[in-house]
Amino acid sequence: MAVNVWLRMFFYGLHGFFDEILFTSLFNLVESNFLDWTFRGHSSLWSFFMYGFGSFVIEQLYLRWRDKWYLPMPVRGVMYVLWVYVWELSCGLVLRHFNACPWDYSNRQWNVSGLVTLQYFPAWFIASLWQELVAGYLLTLSKDTGDTERKDS
């Protein structure tokens, strides 16, 4: 039995937080021409929910593609990124409606309504394929303690 779906989504949310903070801190360092070594990354509580559910969908796509169709890794990566962009755009539109959207890519190249940017495609591609590995590992963990219970004779 795999780790409970809610626990996996919780882990995916935390993992997304970590990845986003790491990415933004490194991206800020590069954008400062390696002058800002404070490594200040940032995220938002909204990201926790977005990463949790978004990564769960990638897990489900991975399982479907693994079990029913063979898709080469580069194709899977592109398909995952398409999902990420649809999810980020949808969430961004909803959050923007409530004046709660914590990101704005208007100053980035190749942005769509300031909510997604193709500039991050390589990072999303790598992160999505990494998500396959994380999901595959979590799905192998077991909560079943039946083998360790004492059997009465």
DSSP string, 110-124: TEETTTEEGGGHHHH
How far is C-alpha 69 from the chain's CA centre? 23
pLDDT in tens, the chain (153 residues): 567 899 999 999 999 999 999 999 998 999 999 999 999 999 999 999 999 999 999 999 999 888 787 888 999 999 999 999 999 999 999 999 999 999 999 999 999 999 999 999 999 999 999 999 999 899 888 554 444 443 444
pTM for this predicted structure: 0.84
DSSP string, 57-71: HHHHHHHHHHHT---
